A and B are shown apart, each in its own frame.
Chain A
Amino acid sequence: DAKTTQPNSMESNEEEPVHLPCNHSTISGTDYIHWYRQLPSQGPEYVIHGLTSNVNNRMASLAIAEDRKSSTLILHRATLRDAAVYYCILRDSNTNAGKSTFGDGTTLTVKP
């Protein structure tokens, strides 16, 4: 499985934008990039996914580098409720496309 690398932790101030990076230098051409987050004492929840183009939804934006070797999850205005562990995952169609291989993620702390 292709691997992802994320910083262990990041801090942000409330109501400021947050950019969470992810490196995936061994990504293949058909791998989708997914982001999930896990709030304290809850199961992970879906945030966003993309293949090549930048994506926006009500929760966040996903910026994908032109060579696809990295991506950035953007939270436009962080709130205290956004404090969570954020996971960047590659879904590989060549093996088990449904499988999500989680790393240890980035723990985001939001300061009031």
Chain B
Amino acid sequence: EAEVAQSPRYKITEKSQAVAFWCDPISGHATLYWYRQILGQGPELLVQFQDESVVDDSQLPKDRFSAERLKGVDSTLKIQPAELGDSAMYLCASSLGGDRTDTQYFGPGTRLTVL
């Protein structure tokens, strides 16, 4: 069964450093999502792509976070500079489209710890 791949699985960094996460969605999925999940809370959408275009980035802290999906396939989420409050799980998900009936398939996540 096809899966969403993410790397790295774990990342430890010091505050003010730059970090990057990579996501490879299920082949053929046009919609890609990045979520942030703080321990004990549900995931929060950071950015949503439809192919290579951003559909929703209203919750993305744009002063330090950036996301791209240049060829409409895999995607990179970057944080620069990282802050202590960025410690969280970063989840990538994909779906065939952005319809309200579409199933979202999640990757295993990247656990970020900022020291």
User: Which A residues form the contact surface with B (CB < 8 A)?
Assistant: 30-32, 36, 42-46, 49, 85, 87, 91-93, 96-105
Contacts of B31 in A (CB 8 A): 98
When A43-B107, A45-B106, A49-B101 are in contact, do A98 and B44 touch as well, CB less than 8 Å?
A: no
Total of A-B residue pairs, C-beta within 8 Å: 67
Contacts of B104 in A (CB 8 A): 36, 44, 46, 98, 100
Q: From B56, B91, B106, give the contact of A96 (CB < 8 A).
A: B56
Contacts of A99 in B (CB 8 A): 45, 48, 56
When A32-B100, A99-B56 are in contact, do A87 and B42 touch as well, CB less than 8 Å?
A: yes
Q: By the criterion CB–CB under 8 Å, are A96 and B44 in contact? A: no
Against A, the Cβ 8 Å flags (1 = close, 0 = not) of B20-64 are 000000000001010100001111110010100001100000000
State the Cβ distance, A38 to closest chain B Cβ, in Å.
Answer: 8
Q: By the criterion CB–CB under 8 Å, are A46 and B45 in contact? A: no
Contacts of B72 in A (CB 8 A): none
Within the assembled complex, what's the spacing in Å between the Cα atoms of A45 and B107? 9
Against A, the Cβ 8 Å flags (1 = close, 0 = not) of B78-95 are 000000000000010101
Closest A-chain residue to B6, C-beta based? A43
Q: By the criterion CB–CB under 8 Å, are B106 and A98 in contact? A: no
Apart from A96-B55, A97-B98, list 17 A-B contacts with CB within 8 A: A32-B101, A43-B106, A43-B108, A44-B91, A46-B103, A91-B100, A92-B100, A93-B100, A96-B48, A96-B56, A97-B99, A97-B100, A99-B56, A101-B45, A103-B42, A104-B40, A104-B41
